[in-house]
């Protein structure tokens, strides 16, 4: 099996349990290998463990705002300290947040606006992976 044949690995961080579970199912149905986290601290821990074990993620999808935990901005900064070239998508309901108009400055390549449907999710992931700069 070549690298092209292997399922791309996605780390999804979402604090809303229902949305996390639905998004995980959509990504798995699309053929991706998915790990999930409920906040930034958990996402960073999973990211580091998997990278150290030789199973790095191809892309991360991070919720921008996390209730009672580390959100997407702080999380992507810490993840980029481990892997500066990681592909990253920010997921949010907050249309007016400055991150959305300056994605790259904050370390993201794309945005998913909640709520999203499967075709929007998979197309955003596909486009982000297609523009992989690694």
pLDDT at residue 5 greater than cutoff 70 = no
4 assigned to some structural domain: no
Report the predicted TM-score, pTM, of the whole model to 2 decimal places.
0.92
What is the average per-residue pLDDT within 7-12?
Answer: 96
Domain containing residue 116: CATH number: 3.40.50.2300
Question: What does R_g of the chain's alpha carbons equal in angstroms?
Answer: 14
Domain tally for the chain? Answer: 1
CA 70 to chain centre: 14
**pLDDT score for 2:** 41
Determine what percent of the chain is predicted with pLDDT higher than 70: 93
Pairing, β 59-63 against β 33-37: unpaired
What is the average per-residue pLDDT within 91-120?
Answer: 89
3 assigned to some structural domain: no
68 assigned to some structural domain: yes
1 assigned to some structural domain: no
What is the average per-residue pLDDT within 81-93?
Answer: 95
The mean pLDDT value of the chain amounts to 91
Query: By C-alpha distance, which of 107, 132, 115, 92 is closest to 26?
Result: 115
DSSP state of 101: G
88 vs 134: CA distance, rounded Å: 12
Q: What's the number of CA atoms in the CB half-sphere (13 Å) around residue 31?
A: 9
What is the average per-residue pLDDT within 82-94?
Answer: 93
98 assigned to some structural domain: yes
The residue range of the domain holding 78 is 9-129
pLDDT at residue 40 greater than cutoff 80 = yes
**pLDDT score for 132:** 58
DSSP state of 100: G
Query: By C-alpha distance, which of 122, 124, 128 is closest to 31?
Result: 122
């Amino acid at each position: 099996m070549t690298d092209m044949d292997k399922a791309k690995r996605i780390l999804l961080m979402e604090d809303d349990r229902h949305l996390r579970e639905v998004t995980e199912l959509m990504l798995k149905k699309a053929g991706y290998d998915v790990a999930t986290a409920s906040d930034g601290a958990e996402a960073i821990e999973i990211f580091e463990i998997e990278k150290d074990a030789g199973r790095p993620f191809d892309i991360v999808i991070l919720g921008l705002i996390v209730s009672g935990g580390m959100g997407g901005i702080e999380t992507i900064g810490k993840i980029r300290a481990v892997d500066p070239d990681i592909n990253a998508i920010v997921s949010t309901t907050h249309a007016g947040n400055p991150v959305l108009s300056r994605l790259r400055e904050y370390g993201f390549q794309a945005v998913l606006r909640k709520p999203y449907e499967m075709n929007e999710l998979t197309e955003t992931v596909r486009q982000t992976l297609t523009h992989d700069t690694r």
